[in-house]
Structure 1
Amino acid sequence: MAALAGCGTVPAADEPRAGPPGSPLVPGNRVELLVDGPATHKAMKAAIAAARDHVNLETYILEEGGVADEFARLLEKKAAEGVKVSVLYDAVGSLGTPREYFERLEKAGIQTCAFNPVRKMSKMNNRDHRKILVVDGRVAFTGGINVSEAYTRNSRTERRRTDSEDKKAKEGWRDTQVRVEGPVVAQFQRTFLDSWLLQDCGAAAEARYFPRLGPRGGSRARLVKADPQQGESEMYGELLSAIGKAKQRVWLNFGYFVPDPATMRTLTDAARRGVDVRLVLPGFSDFWAPVYAGRSRYRELLAAGVHIYEWHDALMHAKTAVIDSRWSSVGSTNLDWRSLVHNYEADLVVDDARFAQDMEKRFRLDLEAATAIDPKTWRDRGAGSKVKEWVARQWQYML
């Protein structure tokens, strides 16, 4: 075990850094909360089916299977109708998908591009973790949901099953996405096109990417990003700033929670000044180490008055925040080193009390399905768990 000591030491230059938002908060947006894979994929496919000019899809995981086949058939149909279709997928996240799947799309006239192919070893650790769909420059989606078999069932169905956690880690994930209309869609479009150009994917198809966008709702919103080339995360700065200013409540769901020192200070300071700080986190995951690395921080958080809850009936994968019944975020950024330092990420920040009400309602439902962590019981947990926590924490920089 001593040989592992220091593995988690973080180079000072690679600690998370907050970047200023690259886009303004713009008014006039309609933001719809989508819960779990089936509802999200249904809404995404409906938007694609209505496309008249172009479809731009950017995803971390494009996994061969029933879900991906449904998307492929729909995209092929739209391409045959003359709609310009472009698909950007992460080369590592989609590593298990056969080349034949992408060749099928290309034969249909769809542009495809792998983000940071594995042959580029210098960029191996920088992954495109974003999940963005833009249709006709008028409708956009983002959140934590991939094109994957993990989303064939919703988490409510999964909670009624008595399967093992290993099996639950493969299906029925609890996740969140948003559907957006209004002026902020242009920020999604610019982000996708910048990613396409960054990867030298070839010229973007000729399309009306930036139509005139009038007001569609009452939400002020902006898209915030993480860019490892710049060494900054806009979401990191936005979230910590919002928590630092919180007066009443900070309610967070994160599928991967391996907090850096600044995040720990911000959360504990908020709890100590009387803010209701609640974390809903996974009780198990598709990889054990992040769960235990996060648990290694529970004692300090609980001592400060932070309330922690774990999900055990389905895999919690959402990345959301709602603060003081006004400020909300939904996106791909986890509260871990991988998201804040290594990955390309995208999150929607929303300033709107009405949307925050929807977020709080969903958070309360998540609390009902979660198990509260009791401080005394946590102190008395077994030595085996403590060893796993210590080992996982040594690798926090890579998690």
Structure 2
Amino acid sequence: VYAGQAAQYRRQAGTTTELVNPPAPGSAEFARWMEAACSAPLRQGNRVAVLRNGDEIIAGMLDALGSAVETVDFCNYIFWKGETATSFAEALSERARAGVAVNVLLDAYGSAKIERGLIPEMERAGVNFSWFRSPHWYKAHQFNNRMHRRILVVDGRVGFTGGFGVADEWIGDAEGPEHWRDTHLRIEGPAVRDVLGAFMENWNEATHCFLSGPHLPELAPFDDGVDVQVARSSPGHGAATAETVMLAAMCGVRQRLWITTAYFGPRRAVIDALVATAERGVDVRLLVNGSHIDKELARRVGQRSYATLLAGGVRVFEYEQTMMHAKVVVVDDGWANVGTSNWDNRSMSLQEELNCAIVDAGIVATLEKHFLTDFDGSEEIELARWRDRPVASRAYEWVGEALRHSL
């Protein structure tokens, strides 16, 4: 199975598609394109808040959990043992004991480090718990396809998604190497149903149960709300939605394309598109992990492309304060994409992902401030110095390149 997937990846590595008369992200034309090409309905009238780092994310999510009256639908790739996991398990259990319908879905691979005693405790409290794709010999072909989504929906009305994982690494405000840097969204309004739809898709696969009733209330738009399009990626549907949106954004961007990703290692066509975008005069910046990354080999995969990117005019920054786990894209002054997808092959073709495209100058301005702060905490890579890196570093990059398909 792995060999077949790897061979397919190499055949398609340099293949891309052309967007004729590309519309600008943030325009009505681009929204219509996303609706048609990515099955991402345009939802108007949403209230969106950007949550930066664990202090804001954890407090916001636990507060929303505590307010649940009828339903809680929660899934995550990461649920590791520690203080944070215990706090979430207790909050979920408390709501279940209060009569709230609580559904919890965890990825069997990503959450393998969970404190096992938490699961029966939640179930005794009334939580409906399930694993996503537990390892079975008859499902070996699916094992490399994981659920990387992170979703919390409360009463069908308040939704959260982004990069946050339930682990102590997210505690704090990214003030040191042990406190990770991340970005999450809190959403109210019609787009919450699309966030819930992604949860329902994975919940149905795992439990063969459809959700209805109080999980799906009427969601009226807010007069002061913003446009949001929620795009799902899934191996069952080709899994290319996240990459497709980014390639289209690169075609239509006019002035600025800033990218933050935890892991960078896309196929060659994406590298070529980034360079082509920079060569058009667009300010293209890539913010990735430096020495604090949790998967060094994944870092080396990205570094294999630095020379090409730098020579083509893309500015590359390595974040040196802590582990950078955010997945954010800002295009020009009015469009942003925040979610669970990294710029690597796992997110682009192997995993279940969820991303939110937001059309709002205020949200973009907030994310721009975050970018500028993160750039200040990074080292910008210079082409001349990069070309003089040691032979050992180049060899490590070649090892990563051989495994790019699954990193």
Scaled by the length of structure 1, the TM-score of the pair is 0.91
**In the aligned structure 1, how far is the partner of 2:249 from the partner of 2:212?**
39
**In the aligned structure 2, how far is the partner of 1:228 from the partner of 1:283?**
29
Distance 1:247 1:71, change over 3 A: same
Residue 144 of structure 1 aligns with which residue? 163
Residue 28 of structure 2 aligns with which residue? none
- 2:155 maps to a residue whose letter is D
**In the aligned structure 2, how far is the partner of 1:42 from the partner of 1:49?**
10
Distance 1:83 1:250, change over 3 A: same
| Matching of residues 63-142 of structure 1 within 5 Å | 63-119=80-136, 120-142=139-161
**Pair 1:182 & 2:189 matched:** yes
Residue 172 of structure 2 aligns with which residue? 153
Residue 3 of structure 1 aligns with which residue? none
Q: State the Cα deviation string for residues 322-378 of structure 1 (Å, max 9, x = none).
A: 001111011110110111111000111111122111111111111111111111111
**Pair 1:262 & 2:249 matched:** no
Asked if 2 retains the 8 angstrom alpha-carbon contact of 1:16 and 1:340, the reply is: no
Q: Secondary structure at the match of 2:318?
A: strand
Residue 224 of structure 1 aligns with which residue? 231
Unpaired runs of at least 5, structure 2: 1-5, 18-33
- 1:385 maps to a residue whose letter is S
1:396 to 382, 390, 404: 404
**In the aligned structure 2, how far is the partner of 1:138 from the partner of 1:391?**
46
**In the aligned structure 1, how far is the partner of 2:404 from the partner of 2:135?**
23
- 2:51 maps to a residue whose letter is L
- Residue 15 of structure 1 deviates from its aligned partner by 8.4
Residue 220 of structure 2 aligns with which residue? 214
- Residue 99 of structure 1 deviates from its aligned partner by 3.2
- Residue 384 of structure 1 deviates from its aligned partner by 1.3
Q: State the Cα deviation string for residues 110-166 of structure 1 (Å, max 9, x = none).
A: 0011000022322110100000110011100100111112112221x21xxxxxxxx
Residue 31 of structure 2 aligns with which residue? none
Asked if 2 retains the 8 angstrom alpha-carbon contact of 1:53 and 1:207, the reply is: no
Q: State the Cα deviation string for residues 212-260 of structure 1 (Å, max 9, x = none).
A: 1112343111111111012232221111111111110000000000021
Q: State the Cα deviation string for residues 241-284 of structure 1 (Å, max 9, x = none).
A: 11111110000000000021221121001100100000111013
Q: State the Cα deviation string for residues 38-93 of structure 1 (Å, max 9, x = none).
A: 21011000111111110000100111211011111111111111111000000001
- 2:215 maps to a residue whose letter is Y
2:351 to 333, 343, 358: 343
2:74 to 41, 57, 77: 57
Residue 10 of structure 1 aligns with which residue? 9
Residue 279 of structure 2 aligns with which residue? 272
Unpaired runs of at least 5, structure 1: 1-6, 159-167
**In the aligned structure 2, how far is the partner of 1:185 from the partner of 1:172?**
29
Structure 1 stretches of 4+ with a deviation exceeding 6 A read 13-19
Residue 320 of structure 1 aligns with which residue? 328
- Residue 10 of structure 1 deviates from its aligned partner by 2.9
Asked if 1 retains the 8 angstrom alpha-carbon contact of 2:156 and 2:217, the reply is: yes
Distance 1:8 1:301, change over 3 A: farther
**In the aligned structure 1, how far is the partner of 2:215 from the partner of 2:15?**
33
**In the aligned structure 2, how far is the partner of 1:136 from the partner of 1:17?**
41
- Residue 13 of structure 1 deviates from its aligned partner by 6.5
1:32 to 46, 49, 56: 49
**In the aligned structure 1, how far is the partner of 2:333 from the partner of 2:254?**
10
- Residue 100 of structure 1 deviates from its aligned partner by 2.2
Number of aligned residue pairs: 380
Asked if 1 retains the 8 angstrom alpha-carbon contact of 2:239 and 2:350, the reply is: no
**In the aligned structure 1, how far is the partner of 2:216 from the partner of 2:15?**
33
Asked if 2 retains the 8 angstrom alpha-carbon contact of 1:175 and 1:318, the reply is: yes
Q: State the Cα deviation string for residues 177-228 of structure 1 (Å, max 9, x = none).
A: 00001110010111111211112x1535664112111123431111111110
Asked if 1 retains the 8 angstrom alpha-carbon contact of 2:241 and 2:348, the reply is: no
Query: Which deviates the most, 274-283 or 15-24?
Result: 15-24
**In the aligned structure 1, how far is the partner of 2:375 from the partner of 2:333?**
17
- 1:257 maps to a residue whose letter is F
Residue 162 of structure 1 aligns with which residue? none
Residue 4 of structure 1 aligns with which residue? none
Asked if 2 retains the 8 angstrom alpha-carbon contact of 1:87 and 1:111, the reply is: yes
Quote the sequence identity (%): 34
Please report the RMSD computed on the Cα atoms of aligned residues, expressed in angstroms: 1.8
Q: Secondary structure at the match of 1:104?
A: helix
**In the aligned structure 1, how far is the partner of 2:12 from the partner of 2:270?**
17
Q: Secondary structure at the match of 1:10?
A: helix
Query: Which deviates the most, 207-216 or 38-47?
Result: 207-216
Residue 25 of structure 2 aligns with which residue? none
Distance 1:75 1:9, change over 3 A: closer
Distance 1:204 1:76, change over 3 A: farther
Q: Secondary structure at the match of 2:284?
A: strand
Q: State the Cα deviation string for residues 299-342 of structure 1 (Å, max 9, x = none).
A: 00000110010012201111100001111011110110111111
Asked if 2 retains the 8 angstrom alpha-carbon contact of 1:282 and 1:312, the reply is: yes
- Residue 37 of structure 1 deviates from its aligned partner by 1.6
**Pair 1:333 & 2:333 matched:** no
| Matching of residues 248-259 of structure 1 within 5 Å | 248-259=255-266
**In the aligned structure 1, how far is the partner of 2:128 from the partner of 2:336?**
34
